[in-house]
A and B are shown apart, each in its own frame.
Chain A
């Protein structure tokens, strides 16, 4: 189910197959606030540093730097940014290498676009919940702390 939060998200999509990249980016770009594209893990990592997207979608097998290595490098810089992995059956051997890297979701290729939207919407909602929790906690801390009692 698509929710309203997805349209506020910036997304980085990393895929070396130019046909797939153009097909999915064409469909995705209207559903999100901003879509950045990269054609390999190294470019993906650089765009992550430059744009600080809300969510990253990455293929596994890619030249220069593959999706697993890119995810590892990104995790060194950011422990919480949601990362989605797309994978074909040929990449399965690499899938378990992503264990412990905190990947939020896995999608089989060819990616079903509705499923991708479902996954991105769920992640967007979680990002929104975290934001609300942070502001709610901050408000509580400011309004109902010990200092308020003038010790």
Chain B
């Protein structure tokens, strides 16, 4: 699978377990431009609204608002932002609830960091392709539209 550099992306990492959050956010900071963290779904949703991260990584089981409900709320605001779900075997029964939300990838906990980076690179490649698509569609719209020919 083709990959893309993560240097320019911002990530929102939503995880209620502080030790896990600290470990992975530290490691992620060595790979991406910026990592924002949140400790529950409500906090995650508020940070999503203020930061507009490129990619969201979220746990499932969390207090106040869980990962499924947070993802649903985010999808109401943003149809496209990639969401990655991390889950333990105990959360698996909740996973099917995410099927219609448009999740880009699922990872088992404990997370293998290299696998997470691979997944982020693949998702980022899709984001880059979307950006390139927008640029080229704009060229068509600006330079080769019908209005230009109508006198």
- Kindly list chain A residues whose C-beta atoms are within 8 Å of the C-beta of B99: 146
Interface of A, helix, strand, loop or mixed by DSSP: helix
Within the assembled complex, what's the spacing in Å between the Cα atoms of A122 and B133?
10
Interface of B, helix, strand, loop or mixed by DSSP: helix
- Please state if A129 and B133 are interface contacts (CB–CB under 8 Å): yes
- Please state if B133 and A105 are interface contacts (CB–CB under 8 Å): no
Please report the total number of B residues contacting A with Cβ < 8 Å: 36
Within the assembled complex, what's the spacing in Å between the Cα atoms of A136 and B143?
29
- Please state if A148 and B129 are interface contacts (CB–CB under 8 Å): no
The verdict on A145 contacting chain B, using a C-beta distance below 8 Å, is yes
A151 and B132 in contact, given A139-B122, A140-B126 (Cβ under 8 angstroms): no
Please report the total number of A residues contacting B with Cβ < 8 Å: 35
A95 and B96 in contact, given A107-B144, A132-B129, A143-B1 (Cβ under 8 angstroms): no
- Please state if B96 and A126 are interface contacts (CB–CB under 8 Å): no
- Bitwise, B124-140 to A at CB < 8 A (1) or not (0) is 01100110110011011
Within 8 A of A (CB), among B59-110: 84, 87, 92-93, 95-96, 98-99, 104-108
The verdict on B112 contacting chain A, using a C-beta distance below 8 Å, is no
